[in-house]
Amino acid sequence: VLDTALEALRAGGRLVANAVTLEMEALLLARHASLGGDLTRIALSRASPVGSMQAWRPAMPVSQWSWVKP
């Protein structure tokens, strides 16, 4: 899917891909190494009850690769 999207993208177009698994993150890291672009890791936590109090529960981090086709 990523190869097809890269080929279809016009010059000046931006591709943004997200990953939560190690395998997909490795794919994005390889694309970043070969094509450049920006890598970002987004980590979110949500407040949830712990007894009568609240605590932060982490969600799975999202790795994001963004690239503009020359």
- Please state the three-class secondary structure of the chain as a single string: CHHHHHHHCCCCCEEEEEECCHHHHHHHHHHHHHHCCEEEEECCEEEEEECCEEEEEECCCEEEEEEECC
pLDDT of residue 14: 99
Write the CA distances from 70 to 14, 15, 36, 49, integer angstroms.
Answer: 10, 12, 11, 48
pTM, to two decimals: 0.86
> What total of structural domains would you count in the chain?
1
CATH of the domain at 15: 3.40.50.150
Q: What is the domain range of residue 22?
A: 2-68
Per residue in 6-51, pLDDT (tens digit) is 999 999 999 999 999 999 999 999 999 999 999 999 999 999 999 9
Instruction: Return d(Cα 64, Cα 54) in angstroms, integer.
Output: 29
